[in-house]
Amino acid sequence: MNQKNVSSTVIRRLPRYYRYLTSLKDLGISSISSKELAKRMNITASQVKQDFAAFGWHGLQGYGYDVSFLHTEIGRILGLDTVRNMIIIGAGSLGHALARHAEFEKKGFKIIGIFDTRSELVGQKVNDLEIMHFDNIEEFLAHNKVDIAALTVPASHAKGVVEYITKLGIKAIWNFVPMKLQTDEDVTIENIHLIDSLLVLGYKIKENANIKDD
Amino acid sequence: MNQKNVSSTVIRRLPRYYRYLTSLKDLGISSISSKELAKRMNITASQVKQDFAAFGWHGLQGYGYDVSFLHTEIGRILGLDTVRNMIIIGAGSLGHALARHAEFEKKGFKIIGIFDTRSELVGQKVNDLEIMHFDNIEEFLAHNKVDIAALTVPASHAKGVVEYITKLGIKAIWNFVPMKLQTDEDVTIENIHLIDSLLVLGYKIKENANIKDD
């Protein structure tokens, strides 16, 4: 089947399903109803059914869904069986935090390089990686397969860095810079906008709004 | 009007509208059509119209929307005119990164305390803040109004910390721990799940899927 037709809302729910299914599996639970899954996901049972039907999965009357099956399938769809090489551009506190995040490698995202332009940072170690000068990134990319570049540079540098690394062949950017990146159509971008999230939290507090979408 | 009826999807788009409107304002642009806004937001013009109609705003034929008006109104809805006090629990790399994020204070989120249980960190300075021992949080909360607690502790500590701080009156949590927090109904939670975002990026690469939702 063609997963490209599955909506982004459903795709964004997959990591959460996966997390929950992992806990269920660890607890030795073998089946789960759409109703129970729905409760945990803060969506309706019929949304759960729809989400899974998009992949051709259907529950059994009186049994529900097979936990192990869903866990394996969703893991496969999310590419958890694949190792991806990631570099971090910007070795400030956020770059350090990403480099030290132990969970990434467990999920198959291996950090193989970290770059900065600040000479006082170059040569310092973060975990086992020595921070490299950004001037060396072309040579690095020539000798290493890099799937993802995490971008944690100041906003003022973002445009130049993105133009440069996409010319060097980077096709996927995990963007922490609070701005919309302009790239060619064939470059995939995933944004973490911390400020946006904080503003939504501020809104929820102010309105005492019951927004439960994650 | 009752903003509580506005959907979470629309609310989550507001920070992006705001960011874009700020750029337009800085460029001296006074009006914008739903079509142009839609292009920038990767949604349709009719979605833009619907989003704004939910707040009672309508564009004018041949003129579009007034940039300055939208900018002010969305800023107000997001509470950008309010100062909120935030503490950070967990002074690891991610806690440091949040404490050093200059944009938060510009948007009205003021970091007034940072806590950890590790004695080797207590007393160290992050920007102008001295890391405090988590044992002192009760006293701190008794003397300081805290609107938000950012949670950057290890997953194994999260449950205990959340139970404790919500008992002490914390009503809003900005959660960076990759798990679903269980709290009373009156506690507002906003999650940043880095792993989920990375998994979605992995999916996009694998499927070469054109998911453009932010």
pLDDT, tens digit, 9 for 90 and up, residues B142-194 = 999 999 999 999 999 999 999 999 999 999 999 999 888 988 889 999 999 99
Residues within 8 A of A (CB atoms), B 47-66 only: none
Instruction: Say if residue B41's pLDDT is above 60.
Output: yes
As beta bridge partners, residue B189 has: B173
In CATH terms, is domain B84-196 a member of 1.10.3720.10? no
Give B71's contacts in chain A (Cβ within 8 Å).
none
Tell me the average pLDDT across A104-112.
94
The amino acid sitting at B35 is K
Interface A-B, measured as beta-carbon pairs within 8 A, has a size of 192
User: A101 and B205 in contact by Cβ < 8 A?
Assistant: no
Task: Give how far B62 is from chain A: nearest CA, Å.
Answer: 27
Dihedral of CA atoms B201, B157, B133, B121 in degrees, nearest 10, equals: -50
User: A148 and B210 in contact by Cβ < 8 A?
Assistant: no
Nearest to A8 among B80, B147, B211 (CB): B211
Q: Is A15 on the interface with B (CB under 8 A)?
A: yes
Q: Is A83 on the interface with B (CB under 8 A)?
A: no
- Output the pTM of the full model: 0.88
Nearest to A201 among B92, B148, B213 (CB): B148
Q: Which of B129, B94, B114, B125 is nearest to A95 (CA)?
A: B94
The amino acid sitting at B145 is K
Tell me the average pLDDT across A16-38.
93
Q: Which of B183, B137, B130 is nearest to B158 (CA)?
A: B183
Q: Token pair of B107, please?
A: 């948007």
Structure confidence at residue B103 as a pLDDT band (50, 70, 90): confident
Q: What are the boundaries of each domain within chain B?
A: 3-77, 84-196
Q: Is B209 on the interface with A (CB under 8 A)?
A: yes
| Continuous H helices in A27-111 | 34-41, 45-53, 67-77, 93-99, 102-106
pLDDT 10s digits, A74-100: 999 998 889 999 999 999 999 999 999
pLDDT 10s digits, A42-62: 889 999 999 999 999 999 988
**Would you state the CATH architecture of domain A3-77?**
Orthogonal Bundle (1.10)
Nearest to B197 among A97, A100, A192 (CB): A192
Structure confidence at residue A2 (pLDDT): 47
Q: Distance between CA atoms of A43 and A35, rounded to whole angstroms?
A: 9
Q: A55, A188, A192: best mutation site toward chain B, by most B Cβ within 10 Å? A: A188
Check if B3-77 and B84-196 are the same fold: no
Task: Give how far B63 is from chain A: nearest CA, Å.
Answer: 25
